[in-house]
Amino acid sequence: MISEETKQLVDKGIMLPLMEEFYTIQGEGFHKGTAAYFIRIGGCDVGCHWCDVKESWDAEVHPPTHVGQIIENAVKYSKTIVVTGGEPLTWDMTELTDGLKKKACNVHIETSGAYDLTGTWDWICLSPKKIKLPKPEIYPLANELKVIVFNKHDLKFAEEQASKVGKDCILYLQPEWSNREKMIPLIVDYVMENPKWKVSLQTHKYLNIP
């Protein structure tokens, strides 16, 4: 059980429930193939049934860590930083991103957009979920929209979400990993018929890296 003092620091974003941090190759979306340092923050109540990091959901099992330490660890490896989760916007990202920007880092976020946008970002990957839709204000700020396709209806959802983002937002359809053999042919056909979309694959899983 964390102390009240620590809880207050977490609420302010001075400490964050750090699940894991690692240097790897970005496997998805626009920056795929790019070396990047990933900071995975615990805590998420969006609850996607197909989530491949369900161990991130419970923030209380991940140790509150000072953002200064997180930043120090990150900049040893890369100037490209990806903040993911869980749902990182559960927490105030201001302290973390301010510190990373002072170190001249390019700071990316992967988010469902379900919570208020905090922090300063060079790249916002918005991956909306039906269960808990994004806040309206994040749509025009998204650099890429990545919709996970688990079934055919998700294509309709993808179009609904695409109608809300800015004109320069890059649109991706990504097969849900466990259902990829069924969904990839569907996505390929859809993108060929609707070329405003691109296909995103979880290439890191094919490469067998984190």
Residues of the binding site for substrate: 25-27, 40, 84, 210
d(CA 101, CA 112): 23
- Give the contacts of 56 (CB within 8 A, at least 6 positions apart): 19, 40, 41, 42, 43, 44, 62, 85, 86
| Residue 175 near residue 183, CB atoms below 8 Å | yes
**Residues annotated as binding site for S-adenosyl-L-methionine?**
50-52, 86, 127-129
Instruction: Give 198's strand partners.
Output: 172
- Give the contacts of 180 (CB within 8 A, at least 6 positions apart): none
Helices (H), 36-179: 67-75, 94-102, 153-162
| Residue 2 near residue 64, CB atoms below 8 Å | yes
d(CA 45, CA 193): 35
**Residues annotated as binding site for [4Fe-4S] cluster?**
44, 48, 51
Instruction: Give 17's strand partners.
Output: 64
| Residue 203 near residue 28, CB atoms below 8 Å | yes
d(CA 40, CA 4): 23
Between strands 123-126 and 106-111, the pairing is parallel
**Residues annotated as binding site?**
25-27, 40, 44, 48, 50-52, 84, 86, 127-129, 210
